[in-house]
């Protein structure tokens, strides 16, 4: 059963979500809550519904049933652009940077003041987080490597000063040295403790590194919900559910 937290401390609540694409159902009765300003990692094999979950929260996939509550917002009827305005940042698996714009233009086009009025993420702070983007600030998106594009995708999401950040497999397909850079950046973001974070990942070791709590999806349903400190966690059993636990060198 998904862990429940005090209502006033909930950053995101997904309740009995049935969702998918058009009339196809991918997720079934998915329920979980994330406390405000905490992180949750979603694990699972390929094709079990992890990306669909993030797409449903972001407003891209179709919500067939259930509810998604984000702070004071019921997201069920909101289009994707209104969810972004409400404070949701999204780092899609495909990165989706503007290839014809420069690095700096990609960042500035996403700039939005935080809803609480306290400035957190600025162009300068993103460049501090990713010095490589500063070095390549005048280059077009199409001139960047895959790892640099991932840095830019994350930096662009942060420029919107979200209170909920969704990241879809931010380390997938990257060289180990780039994984280390982005992993370090994500740790810094999480240390800020100023946003609720939901990360889709395949690797158990990374999941435990980034968050004390994880859920595992299989065939569109939650089959495990646990915390790093739980005495009943069987690490090897979780790895078996996921099927992948290390990054190839």
The residue ranges of every structural domain in the chain are 7-242
Position 198 scores a pLDDT of: 95
Name the pLDDT band for 230 (thresholds 50, 70, 90): low
Within 10 angstroms of residue 139's Cβ, the number of other Cβ atoms is 14
Contacts of 227 (CB under 8 A, 6+ apart): 3, 212, 213, 214, 233
Residue 165 and residue 67: Cα distance in Å, rounded?
18
86 pLDDT higher than 70: yes
Most confident region among 6-10, 101-105, 182-186, 242-246 by mean pLDDT = 101-105
Tell me what the mean pLDDT of segment 43-72 comes to.
93
The predicted-structure confidence for 98-108, as pLDDT tens digits, reads as follows 999 999 999 99
CA separation (Å) from 162 to 65, 130, 140? 26, 18, 25
Mean pLDDT (the chain) is: 88
Candidates 3.30.420.10, 3.40.50.300, 3.40.50.1470, 3.10.20.30; correct CATH number of 7-242? Answer: 3.40.50.300
214 pLDDT higher than 80: yes
Most confident region among 7-16, 106-115, 154-163, 218-227 by mean pLDDT = 154-163
2 pLDDT higher than 60: no
Position 231 scores a pLDDT of: 47
Residue pointed to by tokens 């992890």: 50
Contacts of 39 (CB under 8 A, 6+ apart): 190, 196, 197, 198, 199, 210, 211, 213
The predicted-structure confidence for 132-152, as pLDDT tens digits, reads as follows 999 999 999 999 999 999 999
Position 8 scores a pLDDT of: 56
* 8 Å CB contact between 107 and 126: yes
* 8 Å CB contact between 52 and 58: no
Position 233 scores a pLDDT of: 59
Cα-based angle 25, 27, 32 (whole degrees, multiple of 5): 155
- Exposure letters 32-66 (e unless 16+ CB within 10 A, then b): bbbbbebbbbbbbeeebbbbbbbbbbbbbbbbbeb
Residue 73 and residue 51: Cα distance in Å, rounded?
22
Rounded to a whole number of angstroms, the distance between the first and last alpha carbons of the chain is 36
Residue 117 and residue 136: Cα distance in Å, rounded?
30
The predicted-structure confidence for 108-137, as pLDDT tens digits, reads as follows 999 988 877 666 899 999 999 999 999 999
The predicted-structure confidence for 188-199, as pLDDT tens digits, reads as follows 998 876 889 999
Q: Record the tokens describing residue 83, joined without a space.
A: 């969810």
Select from 220, 212, 214 the least CA-distant residue to 238.
214
CA separation (Å) from 66 to 6, 30, 101, 149, 150? 20, 9, 39, 34, 32
Position 41 scores a pLDDT of: 94
Position 7 scores a pLDDT of: 55
């Amino acid at each position: 059963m998904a862990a429940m937290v005090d209502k006033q401390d909930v950053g995101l609540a997904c309740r009995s979500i049935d969702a998918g694409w058009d009339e196809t159902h991918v997720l079934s009765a998915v329920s979980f809550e994330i406390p405000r300003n905490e992180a949750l990692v979603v694990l699972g094999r390929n094709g079990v519904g992890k990306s669909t979950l993030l797409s449903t929260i972001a407003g891209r996939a179709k919500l067939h049933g259930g509810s998604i509550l984000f702070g004071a917002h019921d997201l069920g009827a909101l289009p994707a652009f209104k969810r972004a305005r409400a404070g949701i940042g999204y780092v899609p698996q495909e990165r989706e940077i503007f290839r014809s714009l420069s690095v700096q233009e990609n960042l500035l086009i996403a700039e939005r003041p935080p809803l609480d009025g306290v400035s957190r993420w600025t162009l300068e702070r993103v460049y501090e987080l990713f010095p490589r983007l500063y070095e390549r600030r005048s280059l077009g998106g199409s001139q960047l490597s895959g790892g640099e594009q991932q840095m830019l995708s994350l930096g662009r999401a942060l420029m919107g000063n979200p209170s909920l950040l969704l990241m879809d497999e931010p380390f997938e397909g990257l060289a180990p040295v780039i994984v280390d850079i982005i992993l370090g950046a994500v740790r810094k973001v999480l240390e800020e403790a100023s946003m609720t974070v939901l990360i889709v990942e395949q690797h158990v070791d990374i999941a435990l590194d980034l968050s004390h709590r994880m859920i595992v999806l299989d065939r569109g349903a939650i089959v495990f919900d646990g915390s790093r400190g739980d005495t009943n966690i069987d690490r090897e059993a979780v790895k078996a559910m996921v099927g992948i636990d290390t990054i190839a060198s």
